[in-house]
């Protein structure tokens, strides 16, 4: 999870919502990723997707049944779908998605895509949540200082940002 946090820090520095992910196989990192949605302007550029793509390329296989993934934030349904598609055996995540929209456990255990993954949340939860909240409070500060939002109320822009992942 420490490596995943390092990836999240990278995202932070790039002005992205700080989420990081690593795929681990036999105790070795085989793929890293961080959220790059804003930089790339690609809706699917989530940390998990990037880490899984790199792991597949490295291991030359779309199946990663010996692998585990560590993500700093509870994966969204798209990423859970990717995790199941890649046949990853276990998901460790740090911070819980605050609004409970992720359906992580439900998707992981549903047997859709012919695969079930184990899930363990709350790994280094404090650290993983802290980087997100410091990012968002910095964003709020910036919004306050320069009301460059198209909306009349700064709050609605901040709300929009917290919607991201
Ligand atoms: Zn995602």
CA of 75 to the centre of ligand 1 (A): 5
Chain segment 111-128, per-residue pLDDT in tens: 888 899 999 999 999 999
For residues 6 and 120, give the distance between their C-alpha atoms in angstroms, rounded to a whole number.
20
CA of 148 to the centre of ligand 1 (A): 28
Residues with a known catalytic role: 48
Backbone φ/ψ region at 29: left (φ over 0), alpha (ψ -120 to 50), beta: beta
Q: Which helix (H) or strand (E) is 23 found in, with range?
A: strand 20-25
Beta bridge partners, 150, equal: none
Mean pLDDT of 85-97: 96
Instruction: Please give the pLDDT value at position 100.
Output: 72
Question: What is the pTM assigned to this prediction?
Answer: 0.85
In which band, very low, low, confident or very high, does the pLDDT at 161 lie, cut at 50, 70 and 90? very low
For residues 77 and 90, give the distance between their C-alpha atoms in angstroms, rounded to a whole number.
15
* Tokens describing residue 137: 């409070």
More confident residue, 144 or 70: 70
For residues 13 and 6, give the distance between their C-alpha atoms in angstroms, rounded to a whole number.
11
């Amino acid at each position: 999870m420490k490596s995943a946090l390092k990836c999240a820090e990278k995202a932070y520095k790039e002005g992205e919502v700080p989420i990081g992910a690593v795929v681990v196989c036999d105790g070795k990192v085989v793929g890293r990723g961080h959220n790059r949605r804003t930089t790339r302007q690609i809706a699917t550029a989530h940390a998990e997707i990037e880490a899984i793509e790199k792991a597949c390329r490295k291991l030359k296989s779309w199946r990663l049944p010996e692998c585990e993934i560590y993500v700093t934030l509870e994966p969204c349904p798209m990423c859970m779908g990717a995790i199941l598609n890649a046949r990853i055996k276990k998901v460790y995540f740090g911070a819980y998605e605050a609004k409970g929209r992720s359906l992580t456990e439900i998707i992981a255990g549903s047997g859709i895509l012919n695969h079930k993954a184990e899930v363990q949340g709350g790994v280094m939860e404090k650290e993983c949540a802290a980087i997100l909240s410091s990012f968002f409070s910095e964003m709020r500060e910036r919004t306050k200082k320069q009301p460059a939002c198209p909306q009349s109320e700064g709050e609605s822009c901040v709300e929009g940002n917290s919607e991201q992942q």
